[in-house]
Amino acid sequence: MKNKFKILSLLAVIGLVSACEKYELPEIGNPSPGEADFTKVIAVGNSVGAGFMNGALYVAGQNSSYPNLITTQMAVVGGGSFNQPSLAEAAVNGCFNPTGGCTLGRLYLKLVNGSPAPTPKTPGNVESLAPFGGDKASLNNFSVPGLTIQTA
């Protein structure tokens, strides 16, 4: 019985290996916008669009927000600039729970009694969490953490 299994396994491996062919990768052309105009983009959304990650709103999360990533790709084909209300670079650990009054810090997983649990990480510079002071007229990202749509 063991020999039959070994022989069948060997035949299966030989069959799979002999069925392989060399795959030619398709040639990738230059990106083009086609008929689309990406010069002006506006993003409206909730936490994910604002860059809310690890239970907090902070600089690295905002830089990894999907509107920022998409407009970076659009810039390759002639897209315009994308201005989002980012926290100051000194706000490394940002704002935990901005909808409930902005508790300072962000969450990360830490082993507590042998199992991972979300644990707040305290912020670096508290003054860096000041309101956005940039050009509000040229903003493109209007995503708000905790935004929901309700019907009457």
pLDDT tens profile 85-111: 877 665 555 555 555 565 555 667 778
Write out pLDDT tens, residues 33-42: 889 888 888 8
Q: Which domain holds residue 82?
A: 38-130
Q: CB–CB of 126/104 below 8 Å?
A: yes
Domain assignment present for residue 73? The answer is: yes
Domain assignment present for residue 89? The answer is: yes
DSSP string, 60-109: HHHHT-HHHHHHHHHHTTT-------PPPTT-SS-EE-GGGT-EESEEEE
Domain assignment present for residue 18? The answer is: no
Q: Is the dihedral of CA 92, 61, 76, 30 positive or negative?
A: positive
pLDDT band, residue 69 (cuts 50/70/90): very high
**The pLDDT value given to residue 45:** 87
Domain assignment present for residue 8? The answer is: no
Domain assignment present for residue 45? The answer is: yes
Domain assignment present for residue 50? The answer is: yes
Do strands 103-104 and 95-96 pair parallel, antiparallel, or not at all (unpaired)?
A: antiparallel
> pLDDT over 90 for what percent of the chain?
5
pTM of the model: 0.61
Return d(Cα 123, Cα 109) in angstroms, integer: 16
Q: Count the domains in the chain.
A: 1
